[in-house]
Amino acid sequence: MSHRVVATIDRRALAHNLEIARQYAPLSKVLAVIKADAYGHGLLACAEALRAADVLGVTDVEEAERLRRHGIHQDILVMQGILDKSDVRRIAELGLQVVIHRTEDLALLEAELGRMRLPHRLTFWLKLDTGMGRLGIQPAEVERVHLALRRQKWTEEVILMTHLANAGTPESALNSTQVLNFARSCQALADFTPQTSIAASAALLALDVHGDYIRPGLMLYGSSPFAWQDAERRRDQFGLHNVMTLQARLISIHQHQSGDNIGYNSQFICPQPMCVGIVSIGYADGYPGHTPNGCPVLVGDQRTHTVGRVSMDMLAIDLTNCDEAKVGDWVTLWGERLPIDEIAAHTGVISYQLSSGLSQRVPRIYR
């Protein structure tokens, strides 16, 4: 079957990027973050490609169930925690690890697990809010909650974790404040040295704080967590390989005169005679609808750019200097020689959102 748009996923590049993550923290275990359908790359295929990871991190029980249903027996962490008692039951039945981020979770666990016969004891990741202001118990509560969890007969291990708000800006003072708050909380546990986890991609690549488990996500998909403007911290500098190539077909080519309108709302008026191509991808596929004129694309090896407003399933590109271009050709929206991070800089949409926002109607092809 021929496709009009396709995202090709390079599984070897995923495995390579996992190795790069390990090199940054050789003594740590790796939790590979594959939540949100592996940032849009496909949950199952990415879990397979990342089987060298120690743990796989998913959003919720539903994603974990999909993995188990397809025969993934690896350790899996449910990163958003438990919502209700049915989550607790499924976590116990499927032998999942789970983040505990509210003090009220304790009562829920006690009520449900107390009356179950568990095949295995469970591992909990106790999340502390050290300054992110999102999920986590307050440092003042850590000793009590940690002890309450640890002394349960159904507990195997309690790992302490925190998430940094500004690791993508390594010079931010909040990074060291959070790391210090976390270290103090760990020290507060009398007679006990917990396993810890701090770093996601940005902290791993730019801050020397890891913990016993690192939690890379974005870098596994060949994207840098730092601003494109920071030329020293682009993916190539870290040795990361491109994972996703997004391509769509050229479906029409027209010559235009100076002053001609291109697309909705007159976002682009031809300043001179131009050749304009229409590419079969639009915002319904996940390409950002507000993309400005001038966003780079590749036609074959040649770089050109978008002109005019992105429509639902089409966008226009300047083909004036692309003499060889013909209807049916593939146009690359991002990939090896056009990093997704560069498109993020042009569109103002972070690369996390570009890949995870790719719609389900875009077929993923794995090689």
| Catalytic residue list | 35, 264
Q: Which residue is nearest to ligand PLP (CB)?
A: 217
Which one of residues 25, 77, 200, 331 is an interface residue with ligand PLP (CB under 6 A)?
200
CB of 236 to ligand PLP, least distance (A): 18
Closest CA to 278 of 256, 310, 258, 253: 253
Vertex 31, ends 28 and 35: CA angle to 5°?
160
DSSP per position, 176-214: HHHHHHHHHHHHTSTT---EEE---HHHHHHSS--BSEE
The answer to whether 33 contacts ligand PLP (rule: CB under 6 A) is yes
CB of 57 to ligand PLP, least distance (A): 7
Phi, psi (deg, nearest 5) at residue 238: -95, 0
The answer to whether 130 contacts ligand PLP (rule: CB under 6 A) is no
Each residue 66-105 as x (binds ligand PLP by CB under 6 A) or -, in order, gives -------------x--------------------------
Contacting ligand PLP within 232-261 (CB under 6 A): none
Which one of residues 163, 210, 256, 364 is an interface residue with ligand PLP (CB under 6 A)?
163
* Strand 29-33 relative to strand 55-58, pairing: parallel
Q: How many residues bind ligand PLP (CB under 6 A)?
A: 12
> Is 222 or 277 the residue whose CB approaches ligand PLP more closely?
222
CA atoms of 275 and 235, how far apart (whole Å): 33
CB of 126 to ligand PLP, least distance (A): 13
> Is 220 or 338 the residue whose CB approaches ligand PLP more closely?
220
Each residue 202-231 as x (binds ligand PLP by CB under 6 A) or -, in order, gives x------------xxxxx-----x------
> Is 88 or 99 the residue whose CB approaches ligand PLP more closely?
99
CA atoms of 205 and 213, how far apart (whole Å): 14
**Region from 59-67, 102-110, 198-206, 323-331 binding ligand PLP, contact rule CB under 6 A:** 198-206
CB of 89 to ligand PLP, least distance (A): 24
The answer to whether 175 contacts ligand PLP (rule: CB under 6 A) is no
> Is 127 or 309 the residue whose CB approaches ligand PLP more closely?
127
Closest CA to 106 of 141, 77, 61, 69: 141
CA atoms of 159 and 145, how far apart (whole Å): 12
> Is 136 or 335 the residue whose CB approaches ligand PLP more closely?
136
Q: Where are the beta strands (DSSP E) in the chain?
A: 5-9, 29-33, 55-58, 75-78, 97-100, 122-128, 155-162, 195-197, 213-214, 244-256, 261-262, 268-269, 274-279, 296-299, 302-307, 315-318, 330-334, 364-366
* Angle (deg, nearest 10), helices 61-69 and 85-94: 30
CB 294 within 8 A of CB 315: no
CB of 303 to ligand PLP, least distance (A): 28
Give the Å distances, CA to CA, from 23 to 169, 210, 229, 265: 21, 12, 25, 50
Chain residues that interact with ligand PLP, rule: CB under 6 A: 33, 79, 163, 200-202, 215-219, 225
